């Protein structure tokens, strides 16, 4: 059986992944085995009503068999099994117990917290996940899928959490990464910066731990949630060791999740004319208005493929903006990013520069063929005239020099400090993928 849960936290506290620990403990107490790893599934990052990272949880349980693997510590060691033998368990009893945990832990008083809890024997169709990670899903649509599958579900308040809870159970890890999340012991959140850098260098398959350009520890969240830190990586086996190497305040519990973080599954290739708000897109075109910096330090330019759209490197993307400022009209690029509605803008996560336009700068006015002297401009766009003999010349008769672009073709990404959960870091691209 699958359990899905979402939308239990608020900006003031809690974290749905923390609740996952309580649920795993509860399932074990009810005699259930956890099958496969608990899943942390990120959904559409552009949903306006998300709390932070739009993450939901899916856990498979029943009677397990095969290899047993340690997945965490929550009031004792926790394990998962490789395979499912049967759907052992009384779903009604389980949802009743988990409901008690949700009521106790969820931040119900917050207007934006609308939890959803589902228990299903059969996973919802994969397209539900695909739609939820890429666009907007309606709650009625989800309820009809749940009813068709004979699922047990509890919508709390407006019940919007059912969308994320169901979509998380529908995920199939065609591509996957892992995250080990540690939780505080009620104390402050503190990690030793040097130990994070050392961990980052030592455990090669982890990613997004530390921003060396902006000197920022990325593994700790900024919200008042119970998380101490989370380490992401491609190899789950590295993560417990990586955790042990980080020096921090006391940790009360930890869990490893299988996740869709760093997979780019939110992105879809589009023509500019087909781009819709709240989607995340991959768009190729030519720069058609040069970058300008607006109030707040955001850098904006336009991209054209017949239609035109504005692209932005917002202030939080820090040093990435310096690169974007070097773009010029005619450069052929592909941008990867989330689409903002008003004004309609692509918020750049990654950028591939395919080719750079050749740019020439005027160095000297043309020289008069008769007098051998520099001619004078007759005004912008009006050409030149020799003051001595009156000979005229065209604008492009001036002496031009090719400008050194100080930028190279290739793939660029925003710094770690501005990285979105779903964005695939360039570190995860295979060399053969570097050129798409």
Instruction: Give contact residues for ligand ATP (rule: CB under 6 A).
Output: 6-7, 9, 15-16, 43-44, 47, 49-55, 114, 116, 132, 136-137, 160-161, 163-164
Q: Which is nearer to ligand ATP, 117 or 243 (CB)?
A: 117
- Report the relative pairing of strands 267-269 and 280-293 from DSSP bridges: parallel
Supply the minimum distance, in Å, between the C-beta of residue 353 and ligand ATP: 31
- Strands, E assignment, 8-105: 33-42, 55-73, 77-86
Supply the minimum distance, in Å, between the C-beta of residue 231 and ligand ATP: 17
| 384 backbone dihedrals φ, ψ, rounded to 5° | -130, 160
Tokens (6 digits) for 9: 């936290």
| DSSP-derived secondary structure letter, 383 | -
Question: Which residue, chain included where needed, has tokens 């994070």?
Answer: 196
| Whole-angstrom distance, CA of residue 48 vs CA of residue 301 | 24
| Whole-angstrom distance, CA of residue 177 vs CA of residue 168 | 15
Q: Which is nearer to ligand ATP, 53 or 425 (CB)?
A: 53
| Whole-angstrom distance, CA of residue 423 vs CA of residue 260 | 10
| Whole-angstrom distance, CA of residue 234 vs CA of residue 269 | 25
Supply the minimum distance, in Å, between the C-beta of residue 278 and ligand ATP: 8
Q: Which is nearer to ligand ATP, 107 or 247 (CB)?
A: 107
Q: Which is nearer to ligand ATP, 195 or 220 (CB)?
A: 220
Closest-by-Cβ residue to ligand ATP is: 164
Q: Which is nearer to ligand ATP, 160 or 184 (CB)?
A: 160
Inter-residue contact 106 to 14 (CB < 8 Å): yes
First-to-last alpha carbon distance for the chain, in angstroms, is 39
Q: Which is nearer to ligand ATP, 248 or 280 (CB)?
A: 280
Supply the minimum distance, in Å, between the C-beta of residue 64 and ligand ATP: 27
Supply the minimum distance, in Å, between the C-beta of residue 238 and ligand ATP: 24
Supply the minimum distance, in Å, between the C-beta of residue 135 and ligand ATP: 6
């Amino acid at each position: 059986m699958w359990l899905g849960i979402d939308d239990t936290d608020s900006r003031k506290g809690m974290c749905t992944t923390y609740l996952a620990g309580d649920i795993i403990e509860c399932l074990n107490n009810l005699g259930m085995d956890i099958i496969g790893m608990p899943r942390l599934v990120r959904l559409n990052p552009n949903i306006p009503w998300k709390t932070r990272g739009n993450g939901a949880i899916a856990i498979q349980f029943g009677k397990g068999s095969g290899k047993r693997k340690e997945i965490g510590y929550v009031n004792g060691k926790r394990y998962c099994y490789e395979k499912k033998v049967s759907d052992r368990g009384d779903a009604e009893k389980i949802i009743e117990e988990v409901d008690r945990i949700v009521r106790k832990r969820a931040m119900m008083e917050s207007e934006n917290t609308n939890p959803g809890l589902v228990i299903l024997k059969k996973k919802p169709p994969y397209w539900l996940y695909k739609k939820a990670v890429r666009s907007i899903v309606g709650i009625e649509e989800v309820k009809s899928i749940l009813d068709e599958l004979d699922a047990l579900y509890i919508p709390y308040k407006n019940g919007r959490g059912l969308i994320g809870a169901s979509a998380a159970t529908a995920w199939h890890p065609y591509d996957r990464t892992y995250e080990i999340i540690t939780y505080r012991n009620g104390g402050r959140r503190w990690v030793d910066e040097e130990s994070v850098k050392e961990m980052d260098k030592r455990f090669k398959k982890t990613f997004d731990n530390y921003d060396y350009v902006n000197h920022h520890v990325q593994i700790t969240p900024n919200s008042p949630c119970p998380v101490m830190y989370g380490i992401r990586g491609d190899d789950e086996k590295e993560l417990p060791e990586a955790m042990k190497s980080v020096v921090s305040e006391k940790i009360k519990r930890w869990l490893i999740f299988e996740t869709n973080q760093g997979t780019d599954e939110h992105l879809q290739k589009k023509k500019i004319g087909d781009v819709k708000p709240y989607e995340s897109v991959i768009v190729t075109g030519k720069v058609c208005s040069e970058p300008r910096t607006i109030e707040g330090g955001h850098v904006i330019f336009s991209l054209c493929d017949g239609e035109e759209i504005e692209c932005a490197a917002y202030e939080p993307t820090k040093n990435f903006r310096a690169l974007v400022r070097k773009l010029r009209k005619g450069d052929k690029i592909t941008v990867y990013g989330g689409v903002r509605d008003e004004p309609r803008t692509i918020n750049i996560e990654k950028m591939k520069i395919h080719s750079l336009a050749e740019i020439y700068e005027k160095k000297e006015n043309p020289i008069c063929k008769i007098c051998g002297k520099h001619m004078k401009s007759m005004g912008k766009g009006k050409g030149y005239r020799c003051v001595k003999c009156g000979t005229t010349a065209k604008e492009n008769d001036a002496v031009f020099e090719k400008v050194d672009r100080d930028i190279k073709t290739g793939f660029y990404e925003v710094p770690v400090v501005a990285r979105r959960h779903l964005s695939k870091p360039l570190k995860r691209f295979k060399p053969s993928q570097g050129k798409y």
